[in-house]
Structure 1
Amino acid sequence: MTTIVRFAPSPTGFIHIGNTRIALFNWLFALQNKGQFILRFDDTDTLRSKTEYAEATIADLEWLGIEPVRIEYQSKRIPLYDAAAEKLTAAGVLYPCYETAEELERKRKLRLARRLPPIYGREALKLTAADREKLEAEGRRPHWRFLLPNFKDDPFAIARTEVHWDDLVRGRETVDLSSLSDPVLVREDGTYLYTFTSVVDDIDMDITHIIRGNDHITNSGVQISIIEALGAKVPALGHINLLTTASGEGISKRTGALSIGSLRRDGYEPMAVASLAVLIGTSENVTALPDMASLAAIFDPAATSKSASKFDPADLDALNRALIHAMPFEEVSERLAALGIKGDRAGAFWLAVRGNLSKVSDAAAWWTIVNEGPATDVAVAAEDIDFVRAAFDLLPAEPWSRETWKQWTDAVKDQSGRKGKGLFMPLRIALTGLTSGPELADLLPLFGREGTLARRP
């Protein structure tokens, strides 16, 4: 049997790191099992769903290296939901209700006052055909609820009814259906809710494993009941912990915080984002993995903590540096060319500066220093001017190599008597305009003798 997973975001905003963690868990699970990953947009909310958000999600997943075998839109699958709703109605487990939101709230408060669970009392089941005709004549439109199987013979005699499954992440899970209201599956305007469309799609697409946030645990108990009412097999379920911001707040698409697009624009590497998103809150050490295959090799859903994990973008910096410091020129050459870094020296330049970069875009500043002269951040101290000028007079003849720096500084040391920081720091400032940076032994051949002499203060 082929493993088939899905990621089903609502295109109502840009996906953030929390959504992406779920997508990554599914993608890695598919990789481990040589399975398939389906991207399915829950876009039945026509007022909030936007094409640009769906397109951005596709681009973000592609940037991360996630490759869906197919992309589906629930808005194009309405006839499938119609047929499933008719099946449930014919079976007597999807029934019309006419209460307004205000009436339902009054009933909820009344039940609470009577110390009863604040769940729907199934009053609509008592309506006769004549009652329904009268209500509809008054202009009321029904919403439709699914009759939970939490009773034996009398739907008004609710009894404890447990739904169990062995969760891929959390182990044995139990939901008591007697504590829940019959879920609304169809709104008054005839549109379908995610609780229903998700089930119908999972059945139709032969989804074998569902991995999603642990905020869906109760919902899973309901959906298992709907799946069984439709006569289908329940997929394996896994519920992972949610991510919060560094301050412990929930992450929302509405605010745009920690969106994948913003992290990409900030210059983070996709594998830095993926490594942190997957490994945070697990028993694995959080390290930067070079590719998805390496991440899949250590991925274990069951190693995930049950409590929420905090995602701090600052933690990305160390992972990003680790990836860049080991990145070969061939992997980054096109991106460097887009920054104007190209030509015969580009490869040597990258190897010289990558160990001092936090992001690939940082290379542009060093390219300017190499080609146009030192930065203006720091000037040679007045007491060092004569020393530096005399040092430049000792520059060796070309050709230059990595050994030139040592040859030069040995000669300067012998003549001046300086050593250590007193010798090297004034020369670094004169050459780069900065107090730190790549090894000067690597930079000097890039400057060339003529370019180096042009830096003489």
Structure 2
Amino acid sequence: MTVTRFAPSPTGYIHVGNLRTALFNYMIARKAGGTFILRLDDTDPERSKQEYADAIREDLEWLGLTWDRMERQSERLERYEQAAQELRDKGRFYECFETPTELDLKRKKQLNMGKPPVYDRAALELSEEEKARLRAERGNGHWRFKLRQERIEWTDGILGDLSIDAASVSDPVLIRGDGQFLYTLASVCDDIDFGVTHVVRGSDHVTNTATQIQIIEALGGAVPSFAHHSLLTGPQGEALSKRLGTLSLRDLRAQGVEPMALLSLMARLGSSQPVELCSSLDELIEGFDLSNFGAAPTKFDVDDLFPLTAKYLHSLPLEAVAGDVAALGVPADKAEAFWNVVRENITVKSDMAAWWELFCNGVEPLVDDEDREFVAQALAMLPEPPYTAESWSRWAAEVKDATGRKGKALFLPLRKAVTGRTQGPEMADVMPLLQKKPALG
């Protein structure tokens, strides 16, 4: 049974980088008929907030990324303490008392000597009396996992064969001095207990994976298959970190981005396959293959989401947007005609409002100075509504006969006068929806 998980911390809103991880794990599970777990990594009581936990669920539901079970690390603290004690009993866990300043000085000294800035394991030399004295002076210490200083190897689902020398990595801190369990221990326990078989996450976790493999083995668990996807950059290759506040899923939703546009882009970005708009999650899942993704940093441009959103909306029947159309006040007998007119002339759903305003109340005509007299004459020839599908051709023919204008010089000024736009839907379809005769201001 394939089991994957998405494990956000409820300390903020999900952004596009998080989504990539969630989507990959979701598609792997669904393609294999397996289980997708939503796990909230909320062991930090200060930064974890219920509002963010609720927002994470809302954002995933908006995208249709449903989970089979949900877990919260804050409800599993006893299990993490059991695992910590097991590691102590096996001689793989030791207490350290260095302050951040002392650790920083050690790192700088090692770097000055041309050595890697790896923790020197000085705490292993402390006697019980020295530990007691340090606890009395500084409070409880932090606990490090004692790595076996050997090469850790695994075949990554994206990066291929990887190898990290554990001697070049500091023994990871798994419990802070204040007793808080850190991500590395909690995540390992959860992956073991929930039977996670595949872990896909960002390439910034590669070193974590090496240490986690050893912790999993120390606790007698099965090592899952790991894959590390590339990190997203901005369109010019710049770091996204400073812009993530504007790239949260709820911000994109507020801007009108459609779920399938966002999912279609994220499912292919960084792969050898071209980005194509898919009509459903099932279609996305069918074409998903982790081996198509590469290691190079992947450029993400939020502007790419809007053409995909427009294309998605163009494909929708009225039934899919009936609620949105009705909310504008469009009568049921005009809804079909209204949607057929605007569907290919909007980028996001909110663009429909301007079209309905045009049909109800008209707009300020767009008139070039050299056309003002012509437009005034033409509008004087247009009767009051209601109009039919033939009204446009009949009116244009009468104006042509009266003014001698033809072609673009005839049709474009009339379109601009009626719609305030230089392009748009067929005017024969627009006229029957007009409830007010256009007029020059």
TM-score in terms of structure 2 length:
0.93
Moved more, 415-424 or 32-41: 415-424
Match of 1:426 among 397, 413, 419: 413
What residue is the counterpart of 2:121 in the other structure? 122
CA distance in 2, matches of 1:43, 1:337: 41
Is 1:409 matched up with 2:409? no
What residue is the counterpart of 2:428 in the other structure? 441
CA distance in 2, matches of 1:335, 1:31: 31
Q: State the shift of 1:257 in Å.
A: 2.5
CA distance in 1, matches of 2:276, 2:132: 64
What residue is the counterpart of 1:158 in the other structure? none
Moved more, 170-179 or 382-391: 382-391
Tell me the secondary structure at the aligned position of residue 299 of structure 2: strand
- Once the two structures are superposed, the pairs formed by residues 297-312 of structure 1 within 5 Å of their partners are 297-312=286-301
CA distance in 1, matches of 2:5, 2:65: 12
Residue pair 1:352, 1:438 contacting (<8 A) in 2 also: yes
CA distance in 2, matches of 1:139, 1:353: 69
Residue pair 1:187, 1:193 contacting (<8 A) in 2 also: yes
String of CA shifts for 1:353-404, please: whole Å, max 9, x gaps.
Answer: 11110111101110111122234554783231354146526x9x98834x55
Q: State the shift of 1:416 in Å.
A: 4.4
CA distance in 2, matches of 1:384, 1:399: 21
Residue pair 1:15, 1:253 contacting (<8 A) in 2 also: no
Match of 1:233 among 222, 225, 228: 222
AA at the equivalent of 1:455: P
How many residues of Structure 1 are paired with residues of Structure 2 in the alignment?
439
What residue is the counterpart of 2:251 in the other structure? 262
Tell me the secondary structure at the aligned position of residue 144 of structure 2: strand
Tell me the secondary structure at the aligned position of residue 418 of structure 1: coil
What residue is the counterpart of 2:14 in the other structure? 15
- Once the two structures are superposed, the pairs formed by residues 213-224 of structure 1 within 5 Å of their partners are 213-224=202-213
AA at the equivalent of 2:177: E
What residue is the counterpart of 1:6 in the other structure? 5
CA distance in 2, matches of 1:350, 1:66: 28
What residue is the counterpart of 1:249 in the other structure? 238
What residue is the counterpart of 1:455 in the other structure? 438
Distance 1:9 1:433, change over 3 A: same
Residue pair 1:242, 1:308 contacting (<8 A) in 2 also: yes
RMSD: 2.3
Q: State the shift of 1:106 in Å.
A: 2.1
CA distance in 1, matches of 2:101, 2:342: 65
Tell me the secondary structure at the aligned position of residue 256 of structure 1: helix
Residue pair 2:365, 2:439 contacting (<8 A) in 1 also: no
Tell me the secondary structure at the aligned position of residue 375 of structure 2: helix
AA at the equivalent of 1:48: R
Residue pair 1:253, 1:259 contacting (<8 A) in 2 also: no
What residue is the counterpart of 1:344 in the other structure? 333
Gaps of 5+ in 2: none
Q: State the shift of 1:138 in Å.
A: 2.6
AA at the equivalent of 2:407: G
CA distance in 2, matches of 1:251, 1:326: 32
Residue pair 2:366, 2:417 contacting (<8 A) in 1 also: no
Tell me the secondary structure at the aligned position of residue 8 of structure 2: coil
Tell me the secondary structure at the aligned position of residue 72 of structure 1: strand
Distance 1:385 1:125, change over 3 A: closer
Q: State the shift of 1:202 in Å.
A: 0.7
- Once the two structures are superposed, the pairs formed by residues 43-82 of structure 1 within 5 Å of their partners are 43-82=42-81
Q: State the shift of 1:83 in Å.
A: 0.8
Moved more, 229-238 or 53-62: 53-62
TM-score in terms of structure 1 length:
0.90
Q: State the shift of 1:422 in Å.
A: 1.6
Residue pair 1:170, 1:302 contacting (<8 A) in 2 also: no
Match of 2:375 among 360, 371, 385: 385
Residue pair 1:339, 1:361 contacting (<8 A) in 2 also: no
Q: State the shift of 1:330 in Å.
A: 0.9
Gaps of 5+ in 1: 151-160
CA distance in 2, matches of 1:399, 1:255: 49
Q: How high is the sequence identity, in percent, across the aligned residues?
A: 46
CA distance in 2, matches of 1:32, 1:404: 54
Distance 1:99 1:282, change over 3 A: same
Moved more, 334-343 or 174-183: 334-343
Match of 2:388 among 400, 417, 430: 400
Is 1:278 matched up with 2:278? no
- Once the two structures are superposed, the pairs formed by residues 359-374 of structure 1 within 5 Å of their partners are 359-374=348-363
Distance 1:377 1:268, change over 3 A: farther
CA distance in 1, matches of 2:365, 2:72: 54
Residue pair 1:268, 1:320 contacting (<8 A) in 2 also: yes
What residue is the counterpart of 2:101 in the other structure? 102
String of CA shifts for 1:67-118, please: whole Å, max 9, x gaps.
Answer: 0112221111101101111111111101111222222222222222333221
AA at the equivalent of 1:400: T
AA at the equivalent of 1:163: I
Is 1:179 matched up with 2:168? yes
AA at the equivalent of 2:412: M
AA at the equivalent of 1:430: A
- Once the two structures are superposed, the pairs formed by residues 162-173 of structure 1 within 5 Å of their partners are 162-173=151-162
CA distance in 2, matches of 1:318, 1:382: 35
AA at the equivalent of 1:421: K
Residue pair 2:367, 2:413 contacting (<8 A) in 1 also: no
Distance 1:122 1:385, change over 3 A: closer
- Once the two structures are superposed, the pairs formed by residues 202-221 of structure 1 within 5 Å of their partners are 202-221=191-210
What residue is the counterpart of 1:313 in the other structure? 302
AA at the equivalent of 2:276: T
CA distance in 2, matches of 1:185, 1:399: 74
Q: State the shift of 1:225 in Å.
A: 0.3
Moved more, 430-439 or 72-81: 430-439
Residue pair 2:393, 2:428 contacting (<8 A) in 1 also: yes
CA distance in 1, matches of 2:71, 2:185: 16
